[in-house]
Amino acid sequence: MRIAIASDHAAVALKAELRDWLIEQGHEVADLGPETDARVDYPDYGYSLASVIADGTAQFGVALCGSGIGISMAVNRNAACRCALVSEPLSAALAREHNDANCIAMGARLTGPDMAKACLDAFFSTEFGGGRHAGRVEKLSNPSC
């Protein structure tokens, strides 16, 4: 699986741990930065993540900031992205199954590494359910449907 991961300064350490763990799991991971914990603006990294999802460079995205809220909002500005803010595995699985989420967001100040890994495992091991959910998901990118 091709996964892109990005964060702001508050989540650099969690990003590095998750990136390495995803690589160990056999995924191809593009780290979009930042490289240090020097202050940066989360929208810049959210927009970069959204861009590689939209152009197909990555199949899935992992967005991290202090709370996960700001960067998920930035990612969701791109109509090609469905970024779900999660804090535990059930919401991560439901984001894939019901919403066909292609990005997952978490807050480094709220979610520890073990829980974040459990969320990623649930997210990446769950398929979109389609069916009754398909029309709703289509409306996320095309409100006129």
Residue 27 appears among annotated catalytic residues: no
Q: Please name the amino acid found at residue 138.
A: E
**Checking phi first, is residue 21 left (phi over 0); if not, alpha (psi -120 to 50) or beta?**
alpha
Which residue among the candidates 65, 81, 83, 103 is catalytic per the annotation?
A: 65
Helix (H) or strand (E) holding 6: strand 2-7
> What burial class does residue 145 get, using C-beta atoms within 10 Å of its C-beta: 0-12 exposed, 13-18 middle, 19+ buried?
exposed
Q: Which of 9, 27, 98, 133 is catalytic?
A: 98
Question: By the 8 A CB rule, do 76 and 61 touch?
Answer: no
Q: Report the distance separating Cα 54 and Cα 64, nearest Å.
A: 18
Whether 98 sits among the annotated catalytic residues: the reply is yes
Residues annotated as catalytic (active site), given as ranges = 65, 98
